[in-house]
Amino acid sequence: MSRSLQLRSLARQPLAALAAACLSAPLPALACGGLFCNNSQPVVQQAENILFVVEGEQTHMHVRISYAGPPQEFGWLLPVPRGVETALSSELMFQVLGQYGPQFQLTWQRAVECPNGGFGPRGDDFAEGVPGAGPDEADGEGPPVRVLSREPVGPYDRAILDARTVEDLRDWLNQNGYQIPDAVDATLRPYVDAGAVFVAIKLLPGEDTGDLVPLRLTYPGNAPTVPIVPTAVATAPDLGIVVHVLGPSRAIPLNYRHVQINEAAIDWLGGGSNYLDVVAQAADEAEGRAFTTDFAGAHALGFDALQRIPEETLEAIAQVRTIADFGQASCGLGFGDPDISRILRSVLSPPAPDQVPGAALDCLGAIGNPSDEALDGAALAARFREEVNTPREAALTDLATHHYLTRLFTTMSAEEMTEDPTFAFNPDALTVDNVHQATAQVHQCTSDGTYDMANLRIITESGLVIEVTGGEMPDAIVRQEGQTVRQGDEPAAAVIEQYLTSGAPQNTTDNTPGIDARNGGAGGDDGCGCSTGGRAPGAGAFGLLGLLALGRRLGRRRRA
């Protein structure tokens, strides 16, 4: 086949897409600091999160799978090239990748000296420095569906299928207990016609949706492509799509446009919490088919975090016969590690209602199992080897293949999912920093002579001056259910452009002159009888009160 086919998950319930660390929340095990915790607002549909590793004429694809719903109704279907091989991947690897998600940082400064000092009605927030933070083609002969492989892979019943028609594929899936939405046939037909095979998974009996594990697929081809078209059957408005690509140089969207985000539309005081909204709006301004680049450059991924469980620890666990024995043998395990925690949740019970979850098990206070309860240490050690160590060895090998990482992001709604985005490499494309910085400048005093924290300026590195009035950023873009609900005159996209496999991108829309004109420096009275203004930050810095937003944040692109 001339094209690589990759990715898609399907389920009868609304499909939970594959989520990104830069854009995804921490797992419960990490968020709660222990093995168990309650998730009061489970996320049904998160961002799809993918890592492509291009190695010569083959591609490794790591896919993070998220889903909320009854385990018996979970199903996942992925069109891929022939010759695909599957294995487990690592949840922790996606968390490690999250460090390259976009960030917004503010430095706070005062441009005036107010007679009475103090910080006015927003003083407490300001003093704390976190205001608002938060192979072979089928010959047509043989059975209608050929089962190329079917075996258990971690918690999954995994099958690789070669079907003559979509109807044949559906019949086999239905007969074998795999779930597939009724409306998906039309979206799958192009993949069948192109000669793709399908990876189908469902949960094994006794497994729960909390046991979902990322998958690693290896197949021929070197053109990363996300088969997004079938997603339209079960998706939410503005579905986030995070694509990481490791390769020889920066990855660029080949058949989609690229957008540079307008910094003036970002909610800086909210730590960039509206980043997804701004990207969604910018993509809409590019006719719904565009990616932005959060990061591009040499990576320094935390390889130490992906190290295997020490063999001596596994040997000790293999000797375990009771819960009490395990408490003594488990000192080499990291209980905040999502891959380890997932396995332990399948063999250990949550604590009683009056117990507080703990971060360690050596005191046995973090679990509800009796200390004399039997535990098969040999089977547990074998699972750790198969589901933690082996996937991490593969992940570390993949991460070491190339030292250039690109992270791209977009959002799409169902009506926009009409063509699969394909990525290529452009050795001439510039690097992108994932850290955006700006200065929050207090430039006037209140009537009682204190610093006015409700009316200030935010000055970006590029020189934009964003006025905050009454504690609000009126031009910050906010969307709800796929529609823009708050926006001033600011466009979300500063530049809409098209990349090729060499050279600089070609601009199709350049909004920067208007953005600069609207957000240029402006002099004026500082509220204390003094005149301030201009683009330069004022004197008297309070110091760097680094606001690393936990939400979605944009990396600054350096352009010549």
Residue 309 domain flag: yes
DSSP H helices in 102-230: 123-128, 166-175, 185-193
The count of other CB atoms within 10 Å of the CB of residue 481 is: 9
Contact of 555 with 125, CB cutoff 8 Å: no
Q: Are residues 362 and 456 in the same domain?
A: no
What is the pLDDT, as a whole number, of residue 127?
Answer: 35
Contact of 51 with 408, CB cutoff 8 Å: no
Q: Are residues 445 and 537 in the same domain?
A: yes
β strands within 263-331, DSSP E: 290-298
The count of other CB atoms within 10 Å of the CB of residue 558 is: 12
Q: Are residues 440 and 528 in the same domain?
A: yes
CA geometry: angle at 369 spanning 366 and 370, to 5°? 115
Structure tokens at 264: 């003036």
Question: For 370-375, which contacts have Cβ atoms below 8 Å and span 24 or more sequence positions?
Answer: 370/323, 371/322, 371/323, 371/324, 371/327, 372/322, 372/323, 372/324, 373/322, 373/323, 374/321, 374/322, 375/320, 375/321, 375/322, 375/323, 375/325, 375/326, 375/347
Q: 100 pLDDT exceeds 80?
A: yes
CA geometry: angle at 528 spanning 522 and 534, to 5°? 20
- Mean residue pLDDT across the chain: 77
Tens of pLDDT, residue by residue over 176-221, are 988 777 777 888 989 999 999 999 999 998 888 777 899 999 999 9
- If one counts the domains in the chain, the total is 2
The count of other CB atoms within 10 Å of the CB of residue 518 is: 16
The count of other CB atoms within 10 Å of the CB of residue 370 is: 12
Residue 231 domain flag: no
Tens of pLDDT, residue by residue over 61-97, are 999 987 777 888 888 888 999 999 999 999 999 989 9
Q: Give the pLDDT band of residue 46 (cuts 50, 70, 90).
A: low
Q: 535 pLDDT exceeds 70?
A: no
Q: Which residue has the higher pLDDT, 515 or 135?
A: 515
Q: Are residues 442 and 536 in the same domain?
A: yes
Residue 363 domain flag: yes
Q: What is the percent of the chain with per-residue pLDDT over 90, rounded to a whole number?
A: 44
Q: Give the pLDDT band of residue 302 (cuts 50, 70, 90).
A: low
Q: 125 pLDDT exceeds 70?
A: no
What average pLDDT score do residues 7-26 get?
26
Q: Are residues 466 and 374 in the same domain?
A: no
Residue 495 domain flag: no
What is the pLDDT, as a whole number, of residue 237?
Answer: 82
Residue 287 domain flag: no
Q: 532 pLDDT exceeds 60?
A: no
Q: What is the percent of the chain with per-residue pLDDT over 70, rounded to a whole number?
A: 76
Tens of pLDDT, residue by residue over 490-528, are 899 999 999 999 999 999 999 999 999 998 844 344 444
Closest CA to 411 of 510, 286, 507: 286
Per the structure, the complete domain to which residue 127 belongs is given by: 103-134+436-490+514-543
560 CB contacts (<8 Å, ≥6 apart)?
Answer: 430
Residue 446 domain flag: yes
Residue 151 domain flag: no
Residue 219 domain flag: no
Cα separation values, 236 from 230, 233, 239, Å: 13, 10, 6
Residue 28 host element (H or E)? helix 28-31
Beta bridge partners of 49: 64, 242
Q: Are residues 463 and 524 in the same domain?
A: yes
Q: 245 pLDDT exceeds 70?
A: yes
Tens of pLDDT, residue by residue over 139-172, are 445 689 999 999 999 899 999 999 999 999 999 9
Domain end among 336, 368, 393: 393
Q: Are residues 454 and 539 in the same domain?
A: yes
Q: Are residues 389 and 446 in the same domain?
A: no
What is the pLDDT, as a whole number, of residue 388?
Answer: 94
